[in-house]
C-alpha cells in the first residue's frame, strides 16, 4: 500500500465530486485534519472508516488501497494482496491491544492490593475503610472488565479439536475457565469443548 498514492487519489476523487475536506469529514464523523492527513499521505484511514469513505468517493476498498481505478482483470490479484496487507495491519493493532490488556490487568491488581492494605492497616474511621475498599473493588473490576473485552475482540481463539478460528462472545470469554489467555470454550464450528489458544494471525 502506498499512502501517498492513496492520499492523492482521495484528494482527486473528492474534488471530482465537488466536496471539501470538511464535507467529507462531516460525512464520516471525523475531524477535517484527519482527511487532510490522509490526502497528504501522512496516514491511511482506519479499517472501520474505509468502507464509508469509499462510499462517499464512489470507489471500492480495493481501489482505495491501490490509489487508482482497477481494471477487472487485475481486480482479484490486487484484492488478495490488499487482504494480506490489511490482515497484517489488524494483527499489529491486536498485538498492541493485547499488551494494553496486560498493563490494565497488572494495574487493577496493584490498585486493589495497595488500597486494601491501606484500608486494613492504617488508622482511620471505619466508614473511610469501607469507602476505600468499595472504591478499590470498583476500579479493579472495571479494569479487569476492559482487559477481558480486549481479550475477546483482539485476535482469535483457535479450537484445539478442529483448528477453527473465531471471535467468541464476551459472555463466553467471561465464564470460561482459563489459564493465562488460553480458555476452555465450546467451538462454534465442531461444537466440542477444548482449551483454546489466543492467536493474532
* Span interacting with Zn ion, options 7-15, 81-89, 107-115, 159-167, rule CB under 5 A: 159-167
Tell me which residue of 176, 178, 183 sits closest to 197, measured CA to CA: 183
Long-range pairs of 140-149 with CB within 8 A, sequence gap ≥ 24:
140/108, 140/109, 140/111, 140/112, 142/108, 143/104, 143/105, 143/107, 143/108, 143/111, 144/104, 144/105, 144/108, 146/104, 147/101, 147/104, 147/105, 147/108, 148/173, 148/174
Minimum distance of Zn ion from residue 2's CB (angstroms): 39
Q: Measure the CA–CA gap between 10 and 41, rounded to whole angstroms.
A: 10
- Identify which of residues 112 and 158 has a Cβ nearer to Zn ion in the complex: 158
* Span interacting with Zn ion, options 30-38, 98-106, 127-135, 151-159, rule CB under 5 A: 151-159
Minimum distance of Zn ion from residue 10's CB (angstroms): 42
> Does the footprint of Zn ion cover residue 193 (CB under 5 A)?
no
* Span interacting with Zn ion, options 70-78, 109-117, 145-153, 188-196, rule CB under 5 A: 188-196
Which three cell numbers mark 9? 487519489
- Identify which of residues 82 and 193 has a Cβ nearer to Zn ion in the complex: 193
- Identify which of residues 146 and 195 has a Cβ nearer to Zn ion in the complex: 195
Minimum distance of Zn ion from residue 185's CB (angstroms): 10
Using CB under 5 A, list all residues that contact Zn ion: 159, 161-162, 164, 187, 189-190
Amino acid at each position: 500500500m502506498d499512502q501517498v498514492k492513496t492520499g492523492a487519489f482521495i484528494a482527486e476523487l473528492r474534488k471530482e465530486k465537488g466536496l471539501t475536506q470538511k464535507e467529507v469529514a462531516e460525512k464520516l464523523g471525523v475531524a477535517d485534519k484527519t482527511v487532510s492527513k490522509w490526502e497528504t499521505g501522512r496516514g491511511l484511514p482506519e479499517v472501520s472508516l474505509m468502507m464509508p469513505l469509499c462510499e462517499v468517493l464512489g470507489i471500492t476498498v480495493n481501489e482505495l488501497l491501490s490509489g487508482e481505478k482497477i481494471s477487472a482483470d487485475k481486480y482479484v490479484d490486487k484484492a488478495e494482496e490488499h487482504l494480506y496487507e490489511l490482515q497484517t495491519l489488524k494483527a499489529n493493532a491486536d498485538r498492541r491491544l493485547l499488551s494494553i490488556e496486560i498493563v490494565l490487568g497488572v494495574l487493577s491488581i496493584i490498585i486493589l492490593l495497595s488500597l486494601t492494605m491501606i484500608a486494613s492497616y492504617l488508622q482511620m474511621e471505619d466508614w473511610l475503610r469501607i469507602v476505600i475498599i468499595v472504591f478499590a473493588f470498583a476500579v479493579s473490576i472495571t479494569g479487569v472488565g476492559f482487559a477481558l473485552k480486549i481479550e475477546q475482540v483482539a485476535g482469535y481463539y483457535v479450537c484445539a479439536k478442529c483448528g477453527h478460528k473465531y471471535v467468541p462472545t464476551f459472555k463466553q470469554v467471561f465464564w470460561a475457565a482459563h489459564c493465562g489467555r488460553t480458555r476452555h470454550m465450546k467451538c462454534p464450528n465442531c461444537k466440542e469443548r477444548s482449551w483454546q489458544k489466543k492467536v493474532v494471525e
